[in-house]
Amino acid sequence: MRIKIITDSSCDLPKHLIEQYDIGVAPLHIYIDGKDYTDGKDITHEEFYEKCRAAESLPKTSQPAPGDVLHIIQESLKEYTHVLSVNLSSALSGTYQTVNMLKESIGDALTVFDSKNGSLGVGMQALKACELVKEELSKSEIIRRLTEYRESLDTLVYLETLENAVKGGRVSKFSYVAASMLNVKAIVYIDKEEGTVKVREKIRGEKKALRYIIDAIKNKDIDFSDRVIGISHAGCIERANEFIEMLKAEVKPKEILLSSMGPVIGTYAAQGAIYVCF
């Protein structure tokens, strides 16, 4: 069985890895002040954050068009016998349901996998799927080991600002002002069972907040010398590089995968966020 891996544009994988592993990517859509943009096609990450700063309201995202996903699957099946789609958490988007709906027409040639994560939490699972395919494992064994990998991943996100949470109506303006005055930074995490985002801690100051994440990684009972840590940043490459230097010095992982956080997750995390998957 020849298996093709596809995912969606929330994965935030660098372009060279998408090309290297020949991963199919279905684009989500972003609406900024009423204008529709196709993620990864007609808006760069840099342009997205610039437009967000000027936007009157919080951008909105929508799942890939079923026709776009169907086209990717049909083109893949011309060369491969099976398609495995690794998608953004079903609790965060309807993307998983959209792809799953296509099974009615595609049949057993399509398997849909819920990453229960976002950003590089999706991307790293897609890469793991590619590695498992290269091992020429059976489809059931690939899903079993991919599920184990998903369950082994922890995700913490540093939020520089609650501005987008205010725009989205999830945080009051009073709380936002108070947090800003006190320099309070939120640390959120991905609930691995639900695939939802929850608040982990509220910490005063950037350095203490990033230190909290480093300590959480160090306290995980795992040998990182054979482990990849994924980091995506929301338009804050300098902060990301400083964080990476801390990781290299204190955690010493096998590899650090760095990427820019795209519009899908960036809409909610807001500029300045650091997404860490380990």
pLDDT tens for residues 147-195?
999 999 999 999 998 777 666 554 555 455 555 666 889 999 999 999 9
Q: With bands split at pLDDT 50, 70 and 90, how would you rate the model's confidence at 273?
A: very high
Residue 59: burial class (beta carbons within 10 Å; 0-12, 13-18, 19+): buried
**What local confidence, expressed as pLDDT, does residue 53 receive?**
87
What is the pLDDT, as a whole number, of residue 56? 82
So what's the pLDDT on residue 166?
A: 63
Q: How far apart are CA 277 and CA 212, in angstroms?
A: 14
pLDDT for 132 equals 98
Angle at 156 between CA 273 and CA 193, to 5 degrees: 130
For 22-43, what is the mean pLDDT?
94
> Residue 78 and residue 252: Cα distance in Å, rounded?
42
Q: What's the CA gap between 135 and 99, in Å, rounded? A: 25
pLDDT score, position 162? 76
Residue 79 has pLDDT above 50, yes or no: yes
pLDDT (average), residues 34-62: 91
pLDDT at 263 over 70: yes
DSSP 78: T
The residue-averaged pLDDT of 133-145 equals 97
pTM of the entire structure? Answer: 0.93
Instruction: Give the whole-angstrom CA distance, residue 187 versus residue 274.
Output: 10
Residue 131 structure tokens = 């590695």
Map residue 113 onto helix, strand or coil. strand
Residue 93 reports pLDDT greater than 50: yes
